[in-house]
């Protein structure tokens, strides 16, 4: 593929030289998409990459076909000689490809000659633009080949993040956020910038910041220095070390799935071509993720209790193992709450099972409104529920439990109460079964001591040892 791209550009320049009767023909490019392709292709000698600042300024200021004057020859660092230079800008699908410089005997251009060279520019732009796109698509194709049919969503996301970083260069980093329309949050799911234990479950408000602007407008954005942009907030895992940012939405069939962030620790003016590449990567991500997200959601639906919409016991057991592993690896805390509706059999016997189901739904709703979206809430069986709270201190866990207990009394009709047992992850308590067993012991203590109480396993053990 690389040799084909190189030959295509080489042939285009050679043909232009022959057709126009020029002594020499060279292509001057600026940064942008060429930065990406330059890493993968050996371009012909007529290809001038990264011209001087004077040359870049001249190219930026002139978008018409003309014969260079003395200033143009000086700025473009050309040799002053008897022949002239014809300046032909190239654009392709809104991308600025650069310019072709033709060494020629012409001293001025007639209207018919301008029309001829305009036709040459159009032909060259299409040929070179398609060669550039072929190079870019070969990069995208390489990334897509890394996917397997049943690859997990997070694995796909990390491949896209790594592929984006490799595409733009090692001086960049990439973060991918997935959008949750229900909670209106963006959840960081892949990053090349920090290790997994630091960014996992990192969540920001999708209505704020630069990411929020991109979500709202469904358009990409490039910011050379976020420290000077009033829209920028703490929306990256380490904003203090980020200066240049390019963000594009991940969209599939008009639906926002998330955003890709390209990050630099230096000021960076992002070219239209670079934004275009990021959009192509996002488009590929959208296609790949739509299928993976749908599959993940189907799996989750199969593990959701139909009455309370809480997760099932099966999901709790598999997710609980993962949460414990992450907590142990990161050294973070993990708490488990086991809740039981007091005298629920009496509710069913008195009011009937329809009211019983209504109570289950009310209790479930209260619990969901008092925990985070990143917490795990499951129906364990009958009138029993379990909540897993990652990265929550023991004192805060007790506060959450008490708040849930009080609000269930206040917000259920007919009024019911709950008993709660709490256990904490510890060196001697490192499995989901152990956490449940100890929380169940604490729950039993609450029920044996008047119900409508919160009991903590560790405190019960200390108390029993004293006896």
What is the set of active-site residues? 383
Residue with tokens 């997070």: 154
Token readout for 98 is 């650069």
C-alpha span between 176 and 287 (Å, rounded): 15
Let me know if 233 is exposed, middle or buried by CB neighbors in 10 A (0-12, 13-18, 19+). Answer: middle
Q: Which of 196, 172, 183 is nearest to 247 (CA)?
A: 172
Q: Is 311 helix (H, G, I), strand (E, B) or coil?
A: strand
Helix (H, G, I), strand (E, B) or coil at 85: strand
Three-state SS for 117? helix
Cβ contact 33:13 at 8 Å: no
Using only C-alpha atoms, the chain has a radius of gyration, in whole angstroms, of 31
Contacts within 8 Å (CB) and 24+ apart, 222-230: 222/246, 222/247, 222/269, 222/270, 222/274, 222/275, 224/267, 224/268, 224/269, 224/270, 225/267
- Nearest-angstrom CA–CA distance, 285 and 199: 20
The b/e string for 43-69 (b: 16+ C-beta within 10 A; e otherwise) is bbebbbeebeeebbebbeeeeebbebe
Number of other CB atoms surrounding residue 414 within 10 Å: 11
β-strand partners of 264:
172, 244
Question: Residue 176 burial (CB < 10 Å; 0-12/13-18/19+)?
Answer: buried
Cβ 413 vs Cβ 437: under 8 Å: no
CA distance 311 to 378: 4
Please say whether the beta carbons of 402 and 339 come within 8 A: no
Question: What are 27's strand-pairing partners?
Answer: 47, 100
Query: Which residues are CB-neighbours of 201 under 8 A, at least 6 positions away?
Result: 187, 188, 374, 390, 391
Contact (CB, 8 A) for 296 and 153: yes
């Amino acid at each position: 593929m690389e040799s084909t791209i190189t030959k295509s550009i080489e042939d285009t320049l050679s043909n232009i030289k022959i057709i126009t009767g020029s002594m020499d023909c060279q292509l001057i490019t600026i940064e942008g998409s060429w930065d990406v392709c330059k890493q993968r292709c050996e371009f012909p000698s007529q290809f001038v990459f990264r011209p001087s600042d004077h040359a870049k300024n001249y190219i930026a200021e002139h978008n018409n076909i003309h014969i260079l004057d003395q200033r143009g020859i000086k700025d473009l660092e050309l040799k002053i000689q008897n022949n002239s230079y014809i300046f032909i800008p190239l654009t392709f699908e809104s991308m600025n490809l650069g310019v072709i410089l033709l060494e020629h005997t012409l001293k001025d251009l007639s209207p018919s000659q301008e029309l001829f060279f305009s036709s040459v520019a159009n032909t060259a732009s299409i040929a070179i633009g398609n060669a550039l796109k072929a190079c870019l698509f070969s990069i995208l194709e390489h990334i897509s080949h890394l996917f397997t049919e049943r690859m997990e969503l997070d694995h796909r996301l990390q491949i896209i993040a790594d592929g984006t970083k490799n595409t733009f260069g090692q001086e960049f980093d990439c973060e991918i956020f997935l959008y949750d329309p229900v909670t209106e949050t963006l959840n960081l799911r892949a990053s090349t910038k920090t290790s997994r234990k630091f960014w996992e479950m990192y969540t920001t408000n999708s209505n704020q910041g630069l990411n929020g602007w991109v979500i709202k407008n469904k358009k990409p954005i490039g910011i050379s220095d976020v420290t000077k942009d009033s829209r920028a907030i703490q929306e990256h895992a380490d904003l203090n070390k980020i200066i240049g940012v390019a963000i594009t939405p991940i969209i599939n069939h008009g639906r926002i799935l998330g955003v890709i962030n390209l990050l630099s620790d230096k000021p960076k003016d992002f070219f239209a071509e670079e934004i275009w590449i990021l959009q192509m990567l996002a488009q590929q991500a959208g296609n790949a993720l739509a299928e993976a997200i749908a599959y993940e959601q189907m799996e989750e639906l199969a593990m959701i209790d139909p009455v309370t919409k809480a997760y099932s016991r099966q999901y709790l057991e598999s997710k609980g193992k993962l949460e414990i592993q992450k907590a142990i690896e990161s050294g973070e805390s993990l708490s488990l709450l086991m809740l039981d509706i007091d005298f629920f059999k009496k509710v069913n016997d008195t009011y009937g099972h329809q009211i019983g189901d209504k109570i289950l739904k009310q209790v479930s709703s209260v619990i969901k409104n008092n925990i985070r979206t990143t917490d795990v809430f499951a129906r364990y069986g009958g009138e029993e529920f379990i909540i897993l709270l990652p990265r929550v201190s023991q004192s805060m866990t007790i506060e959450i439990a008490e708040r849930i207990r009080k609000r269930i009394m206040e917000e259920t009709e007919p009024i019911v109460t709950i008993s709660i047992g709490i256990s904490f992850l510890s060196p001697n308590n490192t499995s989901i079964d152990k956490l449940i067993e100890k929380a169940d012991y604490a729950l039993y203590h609450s029920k044996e001591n008047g119900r409508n109480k919160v009991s903590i396993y560790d405190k019960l053990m200390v108390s029993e040892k004293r006896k």
